[in-house]
Chain A
């Protein structure tokens, strides 16, 4: 089954230019581990939510808003897609994600078409 691991974290602690985050050693090592185990499907880090634009359905044309979908302290900041046998395996991988110590990781199965 394919799962997306969605990383939510406090952006204040991850200002651009800081060495922590997706390009830090721990994330590189994590991605390497996913690849070595043959479960890595994809993944990327996102720019901060201040760069986001959100389209919302209105009466006529969708309204374009400056900013992320929800203005919360912890923001969606990156993701991995992994292919593993079941939720327990996905949760075990999520627990090893460096983001767990910094915020939250939501684990969700991908829709099977």
Chain B
């Protein structure tokens, strides 16, 4: 019995360290050599050794340091095996320097932020930045990430290997950007984190455990960056944005699993704790006096969150926020949401005319929210026939069955040509 319990304790201790320190260990082990794959391999061998040895000898006082020492020895062994090659000598020297400096590993420098900047480097393919951060900082395996991003595990594995090879071979340093390049480089890191969040968010029913966890992991990453990089308001803006969206998770589906758009959600189902946290963070960001895309998006969600406290959103304020967002991003997605907000703040006709201003953007022809927004505004302007066609496009483009059902329902409720009248209900896309 005792052995079984010990066995379990060793496993739990290893899991605990893995959860809290995996990225820290990978980052530290690869910071100088840039050999992320080598660090991951050595670390996974160290975890395997830990399970066996902690089980027999008990859990060490400093499990993190223990793992670091074992992994580092493993990396040095691997480098020695290649010693005949001249390149390995430098590698070995770097590792030896590290070994001298780090002592027993009781105070491992946190290189995770530098690792994230390397993963989101402009020379790394944009699509792989987010998966790469999930793998290196959080220890997700390629198959899990592939499941989240709906690509085959083999393809995802190859892309991750390629990106890690590039970091190593092309000399992408683990360093913090200088002041002048910080905004752009930080934006790439934040974009990667937000991409992970939205992947997790795109399963609103929350039926897929893995995806819901992805949103939580993105929040964890957001908090980590906020802690490691205090004084950057955009980090706080992103964190507030994600917290606001997360607060509404339970309200996005009805009892039958049907899609509920933001304006029809029951605000009492929104998580007031998360909203409160988001508000505090956003306020802190605003005191730093440097506005940016994520703070504005956080502020948009904050303006909607006021419904949780029994007050209607101020559509004029929302329109102003979207004006600013459009200026900064030039994004067609922002332009669509801006049109919907203007429809509320002024009139459906004005909203529709703003939306028509972007209709020539080629990126929109296959973008479901554009067609749904267009259908909605046309319906509210009394143009039922045109609305019907736009709904048909939106339905064709929508992969989520419950959103498709929602759109079909809207389409069926359009008045027939003989009884045209403005549609009373409204619909916005946050």
Across the interface, do B87 and A86 meet the contact criterion of CB distance under 8 Å? no
On whether the beta carbons of A90 and B86 are closer than 8 Å, the reply is no
A113 contacts partner chain B, Cβ-Cβ < 8 Å:
yes
The CA-CA distance from A68 to B274 in the complex, in Å, is 62
Specify which of B86, B169, B175 is in contact with A88 (CB 8 Å cutoff): B175
A46 at the interface (CB under 8 A from B): no
Task: Give the residues from 41 to 91 in chain A that come closer than 8 angstroms, CB to CB, to chain B.
Answer: 85-88, 90-91
Within the complex, the shortest CB–CB distance from B300 to chain A, in Å, comes to 34
B171 CB contacts on chain A under 8 angstroms: 1, 3, 85-87, 90, 109
A49→B171 CA distance, assembly (Å): 31
B86 touches A85 (CB 8 A): no
Whether A109 lies near B170 (C-beta < 8 A) is yes
B170 touching A112, Cβ below 8 Å:
no
User: Is B172 on the interface with A (CB-CB < 8 A)?
Assistant: yes
Chain B contact residues: over half helix, strand or loop, or mixed?
loop
Check if A113 sits within 8 Å of B86, measured CB to CB: yes
Residues of the A chain whose Cβ atoms lie less than 8 Å from the Cβ of B86: 113
How many residue pairs link A and B with beta carbons under 8 A? The number is: 26
Whole-angstrom CA separation of A91 from B87 in the bound complex = 23
Contacts of B170 in A (CB 8 A): 87, 108-109
Answer yes or no: B37 CB below 8 A from chain A CBs.
no
Closest CB in chain A relative to B163 CB, distance in Å: 13
Q: Which residues in B have their C-beta under 8 angstroms from that of A91?
A: 123
Is B173's CB under 8 angstroms from A87's CB? yes
Q: Which residues of B contact A90 (CB under 8 A)?
A: 171
Residues of A within 8 A of B123 (CB): 87, 91
Kindly identify, within residues 170 to 192 of chain B, every residue whose CB is under 8 Å from any CB belonging to chain A. Answer: 170-173, 175
With A91-B123, A112-B87, A113-B86 as given contacts, are A86 and B169 in contact (CB-CB < 8 Å)?
no
Using C-beta atoms within 8 Å of the partner chain, give the interface range for chain A: 10 to 19
> Per-residue 0/1 for A1-31: is the Cβ within 8 Å of any B Cβ (1 yes, 0 no)?
1010000000000000000000000000000
Q: How far is the CA of A69 from the CA of B86 in the complex (A)?
A: 33
Bound Cα distance from A113 to B82, whole angstroms: 12
Are A85 and B87 in touch, CB under 8 angstroms?
no
- Is the pair B173, A109 in contact by a Cβ cutoff of 8 Å? no
Q: How far is the CB of A26 from chain B (nearest CB, A)?
A: 23
Provide the residues of chain B in CB contact with A113, threshold 8 Å: 86-87
Give the residues in chain B near A3, CB-CB below 8 Å: 171
Q: Which of A85, A88, A113 has the most CB of B within 10 A?
A: A88
Q: Would you give the shortest CB distance from B125 to chain A, in whole angstroms? A: 15
How distant is B193 from chain A, measured CB to nearest CB, in Å? 21
> Cα distance A80–B169 when bound, in Å?
19
Contacts of B172 in A (CB 8 A): 86-88
Question: Once the chains are docked, how many angstroms separate the CA of A70 from the CA of B169?
Answer: 26
Q: How far is the CA of A113 from the CA of B121 in the complex (A)?
A: 26
Contacts A87-B123, A91-B123 given: A109-B169 contact, CB under 8 Å? Answer: yes
Given the interface pairs A91-B123, A112-B87, A113-B86, the reply to whether A85 lies near B169 with Cβ below 8 Å is no
Separation of A11 and B86 alpha carbons in the complex (Å): 40
Bound CA span A16–B162, Å: 40
Q: How far is the CB of A63 from chain B (nearest CB, A)?
A: 32
A43-B171 Cα distance, complex, nearest whole Å: 21
Q: Who on chain A is nearest to B167 by CB?
A: A87
| Cα(A50)–Cα(B171), bound, Å | 35
Near A by CB (< 8 A), chain B positions 77-129 give 86-87, 121, 123
A79 CB to closest chain B CB (Å) equals 17
**Contact indicator A88/B173 (Cβ below 8 Å):** yes
- Cβ-closest chain B residue relative to A108: B170
How far is A88 from B173 in the complex, measured between Cα atoms in Å?
7
Q: Chain B nearest CB: distance from A67 CB in Å?
A: 30
Contacts of A112 in B (CB 8 A): 87
Q: Contacts of A86 on B, CB cut-off 8 Å?
A: 171-173, 175
Q: In the complex, how many angstroms separate the beta carbon of A6 from the nearest chain B beta carbon?
A: 14
- A3's nearest neighbour on chain B, judged by CB, is B171
Cα–Cα distance between A86 and B87 once the two chains are bound (Å): 16
Closest to A84 in B: B171
Instruction: Give complex CA distance A3, B170 in Å.
Output: 9
Bits for A93-108, please: 1 = Cβ < 8 Å to B, else 0: 0000000000000001
- In B133-181, the 8 Å CB interface with A consists of 169-173, 175
B120 to chain A, nearest CB (A): 13
- Smallest Cβ-Cβ distance to B173: which chain A residue: A86
Q: How far is the CB of A92 from chain B (nearest CB, A)?
A: 10
Residues of A within 8 Å of B169, CB to CB, are 109
New contact pairs (15) apart from A88-B173, A88-B175, A113-B86, CB-CB < 8 Å:
A1-B171, A3-B171, A85-B171, A85-B173, A86-B171, A86-B173, A87-B121, A87-B123, A88-B172, A90-B171, A91-B123, A108-B170, A109-B169, A109-B171, A112-B87
- Can you give 15 contacting A-B residue pairs, CB < 8 Å? A85-B171, A86-B172, A86-B173, A86-B175, A87-B121, A87-B170, A87-B171, A87-B173, A88-B172, A88-B175, A108-B170, A109-B171, A112-B87, A113-B86, A113-B87
